[in-house]
Structure 1
Amino acid sequence: RGRLGARAVAGLVALSLATGGVAGWVGGRLEDRADAPQDVALPASVTGSRDVEDLTGVARIAAEVLPSVVSIEVAGAEGSGTGSGFVLREDGHILTNNHVVSAAADSGRIVVVFADGSQADATVVGRTPEYDLAVIRVDRTGLTPLALADSDEVVVGDPVVAIGAPLGLQGTVTTGIVSALNRPVSAGNAVETAFINAIQTDAAINPGNSGGPLVNAAGEVVGINSAIAQAPGLGQAAGSIGLGFAIPSNQARRTAEELIATGEATYPVIGVLLDQRYTGEGVQVATEEQQGQQPVTPDGPADRAGIRPGDVITAIDGRPVTDADELIVAIRARAPGDAVTLTVRTGDDDAREVRVVLDVVPTD
C-alpha cells in the first residue's frame, strides 16, 4: 500500500480537530436542553454464563467432545502438514489417519496440540496404509477418551457432527447427516492408498479434518474423517463440496486394538484376483496370472469354497456388488476368520451361494 504524505497526515489531524470541535459544540447544546437523555446505557443480557448441563443439541455435543479432539502438526523429510485426531485412551493413545503422520513416521517430528493449547511430542505406536489408520502416543495420563459407537447401527439420515482442525483452524465444528453407507472410497496418498467402506456425510470436511472424529447425537465416535470428494480434473482436494467420507468406528476399533497390541494390523482376503477390465454384471475373477500370482490362490478361502477363474461374483451377504472396489472394501470391513456368503455364477449356470471363511494377511 502507498504511504501517506506529510500533507495528508496534517489534513487528517486538522479534520480530526474540526470534528472534535463540532462534537463539543453539539454536546454543549444538548446539555442546555431539558429533555437531553440522561442514561444512554443499552439493555444488558440477563441470561448469564451457561454450564455444559444447560446446553442442548450441537452446542452440548461440542462442549463434551472438543476437549478430547487434538490438532496434529507433522514435520519430516517430505515436508510438513497438519491434521486432526482424538484421544483413544486415557494413557495418551491417540487415533488419527495414517496419511496424517506418515511423513514423520520413520524420521521427523509429530506434535500434538490439545484443546487447552498445551503441546506434547508424540511417537507412532503403529500404522496401516491399508486402512489409513494410525495410533500415536504422548507421554500423558488422565486424558479423556471418546467412546467408539457401534457403526453397524448407523443409518442414513442420522445427525452427525465433524470436529477437527481444517486448514489448521483447531476446534472447528460442523454438522450434517449420514448421507450414505458402504461407499467404496480410496483414501491416503499416491504412495499409500487405502480402500475403505466409508460412511458418507454432508458435514463440511476440509483438508486438515483428516483423523478427527465424526460423532453421533450422543457424542460417540461413529467414524474417522478421512477423505473428501473432488471435482474431476482437480489435482488435489480444494475444500468441502458436501461429500465427506469417514472410516466406520467398528473398523477403527478392530484396527486400533491390533496396532496397540502388536504395532501392526491385519486385513482379511478371500484369495482371488479380480479382472479390472470386466464391465458386465458383478465382478469377475481373473482368468490369467498377474505378476506371477494365480487368479485363485491354491487352497485359499475362495478355492476351498469352489470358486474358479472366470467366475462372476454378484453379491456379498446379499448386498449387490457392481465393481471390484465395492467387493474389496466390503471384505476389508470384516475381520479375518469371519464368514461371508458370496453369490457366484459360473458361465451361463444359475447363480449359487457359497460360504467363504476369510483368511488373514498382515499389513505392510
Structure 2
Amino acid sequence: MSEPHGPAGDASRHGGDGRPDPWAAPGHEDRSASGSRWSGDPWGQAPAGHDAFPPPYDPYRAGPPAPDAARTEAFGPSPGPGGEPHPPSPSPARRSPARWIGAGSLVLVLGVVGGFAGGLLQDELSEARDGTYPAVSLPSPSAGSTERPAGSVAGIAAAALPSVVALQVQGSQGAGTGSGFVLDAPTDGGSFVLTNNHVIAGADPDGVVVVFQDGRQAPGRVVGADASYDLAVVRVERTGLRALPFGDSSGVVVGDPVVAVGAPLGLQGTVTEGIVSALNRPVTAGASQDDASYIQAIQTDAAINPGNSGGPLLNAAGEVIGINSAIAALPGLGGQAPTGSIGLGFSIPSEQARRTAEQLIRTGRAVHPVIKVSLDGTYRGQGVRIVDQPGAVEAGGPGDRAGLQPGDVVLAIDGRPVTEPSELIVDIRAREPGETVTLSVRRGPESVDVPVTLEADG
C-alpha cells in the first residue's frame, strides 16, 4: 500500500518546513532543516554517544523516560527529598528490551492463534458459500416436448416460418430490408414471392436477394409491381418450397386472433401475435401522389415494425388474411425518426393481394377499377365533392354513363359514409372492374342513389 503524502510531496512528508513530520511514527527521526532531531527530545539535539533514534519508552515506568547518561552529566543529577541527589536510575534501555520482546512475543502468539482461528472460520464459511454438500441432489426436470397444437401461436409459427422470407434490397438510394412469403404458384425452375412494392422500389436490376428461413439465399428478379396497391412479385430460382395458402379476408371479424411473421428491423423469423382491431380502415401511404398507396386495410394490434413490410398476417388456421404494409407511429422528438409499433398496424386484405399478385405474374401490371371523376380536395363539408368545373366527369366514362355531374357530393358508397376523397378512392380500388356500386349523392337540395359500374383504368 502506498504511503500518504502531504500537499507538498516529500518536502511535507519529511518536515522540510522545520516542523515535526505528522506522518512519522513517535520516536523516529525527523530530518529537518535545523539538523537531525528525534521526536520526544526537549533539548532538540541527539545525546552524545547515542544513535539519532531515542531509546524506546518504558511503559512500565511511571513518568517520562529519564534523561540518558550524557544529559545527567551535563546538567547534574536532580536533587532528592533532602537536597541530596537521587542515585542514578537504571537505564531504561537495559530494562525495556526484554519487556518489549515479551510483549512482542505475546502479540505474535495472539496473531498466530487469531490467524489460525480465522482460517478455520474462513474454511467453514467457504464450504457453506460454495454449496459443497455431497448428499444434496435436485430432481431432474420432467420430459418436455416441442409439439404444439396446430391452432396455437407456436403451431401456426412452426408451419409458416419455412415459407416466410427476408428480402435484402440494394439500390441507388441505399440498402433496405423487408419481408415476403412464398406463393402457391408453381413454375418451372423457380418460385414466386409476394412482398410490398415499397420494399423493392428503386432496387437495382440485380439488387434483390431473397433469404430463406434455412439460411440459404437466392437472387430475386422483380416480375411486376404496383405502387397503388403497394404489392410486388419477385421470382427466385429455387423449387421445392412450401407455399402459404390464402384465407378469406371477407370472413374476418374484429377480435379474431392473428399472427404476424416477418423480419422487423432485420430480425428474420420474428413472430408476433394480436387481434384484428378494426376492418375496412382506409389507409393512404406514400410520399407523393405518384407512389401513393390506397389500402382498405385490416387493422391489427400485433406488433409490426419497419422490416415487417410484405410479411403475412395469419389467421388461426395459418392462412394468409393480410399482407403487413403500414403502421401508425408517433412522431419522433427533435427531428428524430418516428417511434416503433404502438399497436396500430395495417394489412392489405388477402383477396386484394391474391387478385393483384395474379395480375402481376400474368401481365406484369395490376388493374385498377375507376369511375373517372375528379374529386375536390379543398372541400370541407359533409361527404366528398366532385370538382365543380367542366370536365370533372370524364365524358364517356363510368361516372358519366351513370349520370354523375360536376358539383355532386358523394355521401356514401354502398351505404358506408365517406368523408375524405381517399376513403372513396380506397373503397373503389378494393373492388374489381365490372362490379357495380351504389353512390348516395346530394345534388343541390336533393339526394339520389346512383349505381355506377366500375371500369378498368387504361
Task: Tell me the TM-score normalised to structure 2 length.
Answer: 0.68
State the Cα deviation string for residues 198-243 of structure 1 (Å, max 9, x = none). Answer: 1111111000000000111111111100000122577754310111
* 3-state secondary structure, aligned to 2:373: coil
2:392 to 283, 295, 299: 295
For 2:402, which of 287, 305, 315 is the aligned residue?
305
The DSSP-based 3-state class of the residue aligned with 1:303 is helix
Which of these residues, 280, 285, 289, is aligned with residue 386 of structure 2? Answer: 285
Q: How big is the shift at 1:41?
A: 4.6
Check conservation: 1:163, 1:173, Cα contact below 8 A. Answer: yes
Distance 1:43 1:288 in 2: 84
Letter in 1 for 2:403: G
2-side partners of 1:29 and 1:215: how far apart? 56
Is the alpha carbon distance of 1:46 and 1:277 closer, same or farther for their aligned partners in structure 2, counting shifts above 3 Å? same
- Which residue of 138, 144, 151 corresponds with 1:42? 138
Counterpart in the other structure of 1:173? 271
Secondary structure of the residue aligned to 2:297 is strand
Conserved 8 A contact 2:280-2:296 = yes
Which deviations, in whole Å up to 9, do the C-alpha atoms of 1:150-209 show, x marking residues without a partner?
Answer: 111111111111111000011111111111111111234546221111111111100000
SS in 1 for 2:225: strand
Aligned match of 2:242 in 119, 122, 144?
A: 144
Residue 216 (1) aligns with residue 311 (2): no
Residue 248 of structure 2 corresponds to residue 187 of structure 1: no
Q: What code does the residue aligned with 2:134 have?
A: Q
Q: Which residue of 2 aligns with 1:318?
A: 415
2-structure distance, mates of 1:196, 1:23:
75
Contact kept? 2:331, 2:338, Cα under 8 Å: no
> C-alpha offsets along residues 274-320 of structure 1, whole Å, 9 cap, x if unaligned?
1111111111111136xxxx210101111111110000111111111
1:348–1:171 CA distance, 2 compared to 1 (3 A): same
Corresponding residue for 2:369?
Answer: 268
Q: Is the Cα contact below 8 Å between 2:374 and 2:392 reproduced in 1?
A: yes
Count matched residues. Answer: 331
Q: 3-state DSSP class of the match of 1:107? A: strand
Are 1:284 and 1:312, in contact at CA under 8 Å, matched by a contact in 2? yes
Cα deviation, 1:222-280, whole Å, max 9, x if unaligned, reads 11000001225777543101111011101001100000101111101011111111111
Contact between 1:207 and 1:237, CA under 8 Å: does it hold in 2?
no
In structure 2, relative to structure 1, the CA distance for the partners of 1:164 and 1:188 (3 Å cut) is: farther
Task: Give the secondary structure class of the aligned counterpart of 1:61.
Answer: helix
Once the 2 structures are TM-superposed, how far is the Cα of residue 39 of structure 1 from its aligned partner? Answer: 4.8
CA shift, 1:55, in A, is: 6.0
In 2, the alpha carbon distance for the partners of 1:169 and 1:65 equals 16
Q: Distance in 2 between matches of 1:23 and 1:115?
A: 58
Which string of whole-angstrom CA distances, capped at 9 and with x for unpartnered residues, describes residues 314-363 of structure 1?
111111111111100000000111111111111111x211211101115x
Counterparts of 2:217 and 2:122, CA distance in 1: 53
Contact 2:274 2:300 in 1 (8 A): yes
Q: Decide which of 317, 335, 338 is 2:435's aligned counterpart.
A: 338
Partner of 2:449: 353
Which moved further from structure 2: 232-241 or 217-226?
232-241
**What is the aligned counterpart of 1:66 among 154, 161, 180?**
161
SS in structure 2 opposite 1:148? coil
Task: Report Cα offsets for 1:61-101 as digits up to 9, x if no partner.
Answer: 11111111111100111110000001113541000000001
What SS does the aligned partner of 1:266 have? coil
Paired residue for 2:202?
Answer: 103
**Aligned to 2:368, what secondary structure does the other structure show?**
strand
Aligned match of 1:83: 178
Q: Is the 8 A contact 1:214 1:222 kept in 2?
A: yes
Give the whole-Å Cα distance in 2 for the aligned partners of 1:229 and 1:252.
21
Which of the numbers 325, 345, 364 marks the counterpart of 1:226?
A: 325
Whether 2:215 is the aligned partner of 1:117: answer: yes
Aligned partners of 1:193, 1:345: CA distance in 2, in Å? 28
* Structure 1 residues without counterparts, runs of 5 or longer: 1-20, 31-35
Give the Cα separation in 1 of the matches to 2:437 and 2:270: 40
Q: Provide the alpha-carbon RMSD of the alignment.
A: 2.3
- Report the CA distance between 1:57 and its aligned residue: 1.3
Q: CA deviation at 1:25?
A: 3.9
Using CA pairs below 8 Å that are at least 6 residues apart, which structure has the higher relative contact order? 1
| 1:39 to 1:283, Cα distance in 2 relative to 1, 3 A | farther
Does 2:356 align with 1:255?
yes
Work out the CA distance in 2 between the residues paired with 1:149 and 1:355: 30
Distance 1:55 1:307, change over 3 A: closer
Q: In proportion to residue count, which structure has more strand?
A: 1
Tell which deviates more after alignment, 154-163 or 230-239: 230-239
Question: 2-side partners of 1:47 and 1:107: how far apart?
Answer: 52
| Partner Cα distance (2:437, 2:451) in 1 | 6
Q: 1:245 maps to what in 2?
A: 346
The structure 1 residue matched to 2:256, chosen from 141, 158, 172, is 158
Q: What is the distance in 1 between the residues matched to 2:262 and 2:201?
A: 19
